[in-house]
Chain A
């Protein structure tokens, strides 16, 4: 069952968390599951770096945290996206796409294009 999993590039974790939270308010574990889900299990988030990233994003004002009750009646902290966070997500996504397009075209260059 060797999955083809890719390591997260530095800096992309923040982006993924913002995306995950943008769809619906989630607690930490939920974010983990969501990212696994929307990446079709390709992206593997190291659990130790999840919470520091969440705290960092909260400190920067991109997500909001609130204590609430989870599905199985547990007390958990739920994170929502702030307007600033939404804006950041848009910008990051745009620049990521630009970067990816450039690299992809570079890597696919054939000898006679150089």
Chain B
């Protein structure tokens, strides 16, 4: 542009000179004729129209200038938004890691688990994940839709590495297991055909296990471990990060270990997994498997009647119930974000009204309404982006806190962090909320009547009419959302308290539980007998016992019959019961009351008549009000020998505090085998049970150097059941508390601002005869209307939303009156206080001062 105009001037000068003028004279003349060059350039720019990018840059620079002008205000908005964005990002990063990220295997959508589908006594269909080996063989041989199918069984076993014995997770897998995941060893090799035979001794280990014990995966090759009381050699290590299932450290061929139950179709004790062929859809595969199940039903009616097959994608199977809880938390934290937005919107609204003057001037100078709205939106976006950046910092810390307090067993939780997906989420949230909180003030203010606003004094006498409705509506929304959050939190807290009040059936205080697994299964019973004797004479020990699974975990279930075995044994219809193997004195040690008969004693030895003790639930179920003592009971545990019932004990909540007690049958440990040769020694102590742990460990190793032990207290074990409900209750209540402070801040801000705006009106009223009392009531009434509206809407909303919480509530109904009443009372009292303070100040205003002030 400059070049063009210079050329123009030069040509004019040339012409003038040619006409006879002096050069300097010509130049002066030409420039005067042309007029202002910059003015011309400006006009040209105007005529050309400003490009969109230029306008945006202009808006951006102006927005930054505005924010810098009122730093306190900007910081307040940014602070509020950062908390909201940070909390949301933290929860989302957990949701992303646990629920959304695909599994780290090749084409993970193809991997499915195979489960049985059985009919429950209530008539519904339920998934039974454990399947039997003969069923699996038929599925494997008859199906055409799988690339690879495998079954596996996993548990903690005692492993001797070098000279020390410890627990490690071992999974027995069939040949095609690694093909299902399409994974190859990163060092060494996979199993050969020979190594799959009975008696073979080859294992694969995880990279983590190899690194932990042998520094490097390659150095692990050829090392010898002792598992199942036999030496095994490490032949390969799997890639870093692979530890399916449940953090497996050692993989062992399933067929290398003789297992008597592999021929029984009724022994459901394996898990199955497979990789679907590439172009097979899930419904098509399910259809084929269902057909196979029908065929098995007809061929084996005794064991397979009413048994279907279900295919579940691995991710869904792993996640299980976590999804519901995590999405609940995301919803709750989303509400907090909405409240924060509403808060910032009211702040911006108040600010915008005070900028009405500035907007009027811009409108008068020719800015279109859309231009002004765009300017304010850009300001909002800048605020949101800065808040987003700060929020990310909050999120990083928040994610770490979430991971720390989360209950155990949440898959992939450790991977939660801020990655690409999370950043994109944050950006979208920032953009969305900037529109949410910047749009109402923008639309509000750009509607301004130019004439009114330019006359500065005009704004004082009447309360900003349109601004007021919007502001009040925002505060009502905040209060309503807070009611919903606080109600949810209250319900969860009451649920947690109810759970903690539940009687477990035993006394977990001062009880140490030490799990022990000796290597030699044959000598296991002798080991435990000796250890029990050793421990019982230790100082501080009140009572000693042993059980295969302490209350809270169930190791073994089966079915039972009383008095006599029916001719046709149908496991599917016989009543189920929990099976526990115990040592004499266990009931005493755990604090389980003996109701009838006697405890086991020395007399219930291996060669003595078979005895059993049942719990009250089983007695009620089998004998109604009769006396069970002396009757016979048959359990499908390890044999169907008749056992005489010699005692009845009180019920214990075997699955944890949330589930009622099931019928249970206790068997003396000397007369039966127990899974894995593992028992937990339970010791009731007079002092702190922790002190005893080390001594017991030494005693155990003194008896058998290669025994793995793991000691903890019953309090800790019981506490694990409260972890998830506590997590939920803490988080939702925390969100509720944040929401409450934001809502109260919103109420206070709006009240204070309205009063400031109406100070002249108040002065007028007082000068005309209103008392301080009248003014106070007027202000209280106005604020009270807002609070009441918010509470009402909030209660309706809470009644609707809390229905979503039903799965998480224990003994508390979603419309629990006490909770609702408490929330209303809390909010009512706090908001009244918040309204009262500024209202009181307003009534103390000196009328003359108010009237004179401008």
Contacts and interface: CB of A to CB of B under 8 A. Distances in A.
Interface of A: 27-29, 46-49, 51-56, 58-59, 70, 72, 74-77
A46 B32 CA distance: 11
A28 B11 CA distance: 10
A76 B35 contact: no
Contacts of B33: 47
Contacts of B571: none
A39 to B, nearest CB: 17
Contacts of A48: 34-36, 39-40, 43
Contacts of B7: 27-29, 70, 74-77
Given A28-B8, A51-B1, 16 more contacts: A27-B7, A28-B5, A28-B7, A29-B7, A47-B35, A48-B35, A48-B43, A51-B43, A52-B40, A52-B46, A56-B48, A70-B7, A74-B7, A74-B11, A76-B11, A77-B4
Chain A interface main SS type: helix
Contacts of A51: 1, 4-5, 8, 40, 43-44
Given A74-B10, A76-B7, A59 B48 contact: yes
B47 interface: yes
B10 A49 contact: no
Interface in B39-61: 39-40, 43-49
Nearest to A28: B8
B15 to A, nearest CB: 8
Interface in B796-838: none
A72 B34 CA distance: 21
A70 B8 CA distance: 11
Given A28-B4, A72-B11, A55 B39 contact: no
B43 to A, nearest CB: 4
A29 B8 contact: yes
Contacts of B4: 27-28, 51, 76-77
Interface of B: 1, 3-5, 7-8, 10-12, 14, 33-36, 39-40, 43-49
Given A75-B7, A76-B4, A77-B4, A59 B35 contact: no
A56 B7 CA distance: 20
Contacts of A29: 7-8, 11-12
A76 B4 CA distance: 6
Contacts of B5: 28, 51
A106 to B, nearest CB: 34
Contacts of B43: 48-49, 51-52
A52 B47 contact: yes
Contacts of B39: 48
B805 to A, nearest CB: 61
Given A52-B40, A75-B7, A47 B34 contact: yes
B598 to A, nearest CB: 104
B610 to A, nearest CB: 102
A109 to B, nearest CB: 40
Nearest to B36: A48
24 contacts: A27-B4, A28-B7, A28-B8, A29-B7, A29-B8, A29-B11, A29-B12, A47-B33, A48-B40, A51-B40, A51-B44, A52-B44, A53-B47, A55-B48, A58-B48, A59-B49, A70-B7, A70-B11, A75-B3, A75-B7, A76-B4, A76-B8, A76-B11, A77-B4
Nearest to B30: A47
B167 to A, nearest CB: 79
B35 A56 contact: no
Contacts of B1: 51
A66 B10 CA distance: 19
Nearest to A48: B35
B12 A55 contact: no
Contacts of A49: 43
Contacts of B45: 55
Name which of A48, A55, A58 has the most chain B CB atoms within 10 A of its CB. Answer: A55
A77 B7 CA distance: 9
A57 to B, nearest CB: 9
B134 to A, nearest CB: 82
Contacts of A56: 47-48
Nearest to A54: B44
A51 B33 CA distance: 14
B251 to A, nearest CB: 73
B10 A55 contact: no
A58 B4 CA distance: 15
Contacts of A59: 47-49
Given A29-B11, A52-B43, A53-B47, A46 B3 contact: no
A60 B34 CA distance: 24
Nearest to B10: A74
Contacts of A46: 35
A48 B4 CA distance: 13
Nearest to B4: A77
Contacts of B44: 51-52, 54-55
A72 B14 CA distance: 10
Nearest to A53: B47
* Top 10 A-B residue pairs of the complex, sorted by shortest distance between their CB atoms: A48-B35, A52-B43, A56-B47, A55-B44, A29-B11, A52-B47, A55-B47, A47-B34, A29-B8, A76-B7
A109 B4 CA distance: 48
Contacts of A74: 7, 10-11
A72 to B, nearest CB: 7
Name which of A27, A46, A47 has the most chain B CB atoms within 10 A of its CB. Answer: A47
B20 to A, nearest CB: 15
Nearest to A56: B47
Contacts of A47: 33-35
B757 to A, nearest CB: 45
Nearest to B14: A72
Nearest to B33: A47
A84 B5 CA distance: 26
